Amino acid sequence: MTEQNIYGNTPCFLGAKNISKDKNTDGVDAVIYGVPWEGAVTWGDYTGCELGPKVMRLCSGRYSGYLPELDHIDIFEHIQLGDMGDIDVVPADVYETMHRIENFAKNLWNSGKFIIGLGGDHGVTFPIIKALTNTGKKVGIIHLDAHYDNLPSWKDDEYARCSPFKRLYECEGVRNESIIHTGIHGPRNEPQAGRNAKAAGAVTITINDIRESKDLRALAKEIYQKAHADVDCVYLSICSDVLDFAFNPGGPVDGNGLTSYELLTLVYEICKLGVIGMDFVEVYPQQDLSYRSAHFASYIVLYALAGEIINKQRKQLSSQENQIHEHATTV
């Protein structure tokens, strides 16, 4: 075991700096953390997403930060990534775990860095965003998923993976009209899910809306503008099953989903416009024997970081322009 490893033989995600012990984000631009949590299991054939953070880190060892297809960008020339390790969830104690996730996330949001969570089931997204609203920010959410995840509960568990967006509809600091359920499709959704979204005032962009739009990049802008209306920041939450099962063959069998090109392009274009943080959830290493969804996590994070680099450069440029303008008006 080396000090560089996050634990055991598991490396930091994409070669990030290990900040799991001191939690010090000085000199770090973006922070990765894991939420090895699986709550209520809604369908027994797919279980084990608490293994997600570990397997995503193991798979990430294969990749650099170089993306020839994005103007030959080398992400780690621009970004220092820090790996903060995993949240110490408490198996079988949902309330304590939600509380711990919220606490951990609070410190992350206070750091002001670009925050990336690796799930875990989708239930983790609620306490992460709840912590963000507790900082006083009004939040919009771009939710990329085949499913609404907005049912009131799973049996008695109101923090189950099918319910985070119902909890977020009820959350004071989230603007429901700025929740954009994007890529929704397929009969694993229940009829009440669409009705719940509508009643809450949330926006639905189905897979057919995406497929039939002439320009994917323009659509990403439109989605972002909707999410950004009348809020302080936009959060991005991605469930692996928004991908078609042809592109996510170890995941749940959701047909008519996004291609990997479509998902990565949406992530890149959305992050170019500025998101405060994101998560990627619901990979199932026990069912996905080649770890394909876990490998793809590296792609998603790299495309998000590529977008964040452009966003940062644009912000720096505009603040320089403002300074020049102020200087010109004072002399």
Binding residues for Mn(2+): 122, 145, 147, 149, 239, 241
Residue 122 beta carbon to Mn ion: minimum distance, rounded to whole angstroms? 7
Compare residues 144 and 305 and give the one whose CB is closer to Mn ion.
Answer: 144
Residue 197 as a binder of Mn ion (CB under 5 A): the answer is no
Identify the residue whose tokens are 């793809």: 296
* 3-class SS string, 258-298: ECHHHHHHHHHHHHHCCCCEEEEECCCCCCCCCCHHHHHHH
Contact pick of 83, 86, 121, 145 for Mn ion (by CB under 5 A) = 145
Residue 7 beta carbon to Mn ion: minimum distance, rounded to whole angstroms? 28
Contact pick of 227, 239, 258, 273 for Mn ion (by CB under 5 A) = 239
Helix-strand-coil percent breakdown of the chain, rounded to 5?
Answer: 40, 20, 40
Nearest-CA neighbor of 32 among 52, 48, 22, 17?
A: 17
For residues 88 to 127, the per-residue mask of contacts with Mn ion, x marking binding by CB under 5 A and - elsewhere, is ----------------------------------------
Residue 193 beta carbon to Mn ion: minimum distance, rounded to whole angstroms? 11
Contacts of 20 (CB under 8 A, 6+ apart): 6, 7, 83, 84, 85, 86
Class of residue 216 by CB neighbours under 10 A (exposed 0-12, middle 13-18, buried 19+): middle
Class of residue 8 by CB neighbours under 10 A (exposed 0-12, middle 13-18, buried 19+): exposed
Stretch that binds Mn ion, among 20-28, 93-101, 146-154, 297-305 (CB under 5 A): 146-154
Compare residues 85 and 183 and give the one whose CB is closer to Mn ion.
Answer: 183
Contact pick of 102, 121, 241, 288 for Mn ion (by CB under 5 A) = 241
Residue 147 as a binder of Mn ion (CB under 5 A): the answer is yes
Contact residues for Mn ion, defined by CB under 5 A: 145-147, 239, 241
